[in-house]
Each structure stands twice: as C-alpha cells, then as structure tokens.
Amino acid sequence: MIRSEEGTATAGGLLRSWVIRFRPHPAATLRMFCFHHAGGGASAYRPWVAELPAGLELCAIQLPGREGRLREKPYQCLANLVPVVAGVIEPLLDRPFAFFGHSLGAALAFEVARELERNGGPSPAHLFVSGRRAPTRPDPDPGISHLSEEAFLAEVRRRWDGIPAVVLEEPELLQLLLPTLRADVALIESYAYVPGSPLECPISCFGGTDDSSTGETDLAPWRAQTRGTFSQRMFAGGHFFIQTSRDQVLAAVKQDLQPLMDRIGTERPRR
C-alpha cells in the first residue's frame, strides 16, 4: 500500500507528483527511472525522451522541494527517503525496468534497488550509476550543508561547479533555489552505506574525465556491488558531463540496454 507522509494522498496523486512521465508509453517493454542530481529536478531528463529507444518509457523521479513540488519540504535524510521512493514507484514495476542516477541520484537509485531486493520485490534489470563515488569510498571532504550562505555556495562551486552563473547573478532566483540545494547536500551527507549482498543486476558506471570530485579510482569499486556484469566508462567533461557529453552518454545507455530489450522482445508471447 502506498501512502504519503501524511497518509492523505491517493496512490495516483503520489505517482503524478513523484514520477514525471514526459511521454507516457503504456505499451513500453521497458521503463527507465531516472534520479536527478542535488539541486536539480526531473526536467533534467526531459531532453532524453526523444533520443531513447521507441520501446522504452522514461520515468523521471521528482523529489519534493523543486519544480512542480517547490512548496513541499525537501528530504534531508536518505534513509527516510529510500523506502518512500520504493513504495511510490511500486505500481510501475509491472514490467522490466532500469534505474539511472547521477550524483545524489546515483546513491538514491542504488539504495532503492537494494530496498526492493531486500523486501523481495522486483529488482532493476540494469543499474546506471553516474558521477558518484562507490558507496564504500568515503568522501574526503567535510560536510558543508551547515555553512553560511557565502561559504556554502563557494564550496558547491568549487567541488561540483554546479551553480550556473545566471543563477548567481539573480539574487531572487538564488534565494528560491538555495534551500533545496542545501537540503539535497544534507541528504547526501546523511548517507551511510551499510554492507550487504551485491545486487543481481548489471551495473554500468559513468564518470567525467575532469570531475575533481569523483575520479576513476572512486568509481571502480562499484564493481563489488553487483553479481552481474560491470562496465565503467569515462566521458569528456566535469561533474555534469551528462549534459556536456549528453550524446555520448545516451549512446552508452542505449548500447547497454539493447541486449536487455532484445531479450525482452524474444520472451514476449506471440499473438
């Protein structure tokens, strides 16, 4: 049973707020749930829709506190968020599905996949983790979510170069986005990896060649988190290489999903 934190929202209402389906595809053979980065939102994945295979439906997770959910209080504890997301998406797990997450989204996608497997539910057929160090690799930098506004923004720019200049130049826009960004950083700072069984699904790991926050050695230990196949690719760009090298990233996603989609196609009953 799916419930909101207040227990008042309907299952359908929760799905519409938490899962954005830019182009609903009821006959899709595969769904891919995409988890956004800190300070971002579901709209980051809107441009992907036209580039993905015809049989795939993209479902972008929209966390509270941004875009159409700006008035809602954002989460600041990943352990509290994971079971909520797992419960909300349950009605959409009626066919094969994959997870893609970037940065904060990678940690969330990974833990939701673990939550599903732990509870005996359906598990992803493929997991993409992007721009996020393996969960066994400690973050060498101290937390910043508690810092003053000036110090916090300086650290965000230094570590991830994640705030466009146009936002910094608009004080009103910055003040609108800052609480959500600070909460998202607190969310990832709250993450404490608990050792457990590796996932059954294959993992594809992506990184940026110029990402100072996450290097190749930080990504490689993701291999230990799956019993399936593992691949690691590096793309030109910094932390947001999924934007600057979008075509190459999408080509890699399609390449890794194609065998799965081919297999699903052969397993579907003929009419």
User: 103, 130, 204, 245: which is the annotated catalytic residue?
Assistant: 103
Give me the sheet containing 230-235, strands edge to edge.
19-20, 56-61, 30-35, 97-102, 126-130, 203-208, 230-235
Task: Give yes or no: 103 in active site.
Answer: yes
Q: Which residues contact 86 (CB under 8 A, 6 or more apart)?
A: 112, 115, 116, 119, 121
CB 89: neighbour CB atoms within 10 A? 22
State CA 263 to chain mean position distance: 25
Contact 188/107 with Cβ under 8 angstroms?
A: yes
Report the run of H or E that residue 130 belongs to, with start and end.
Answer: strand 126-130
Nearest CA among 190, 198, 205 for reference residue 81: 190
Reported residue count of the chain is: 271
> Considering Cα of 121, then 127, then 131, then 137, what sign does the dihedral take?
positive
Active site residues: 103
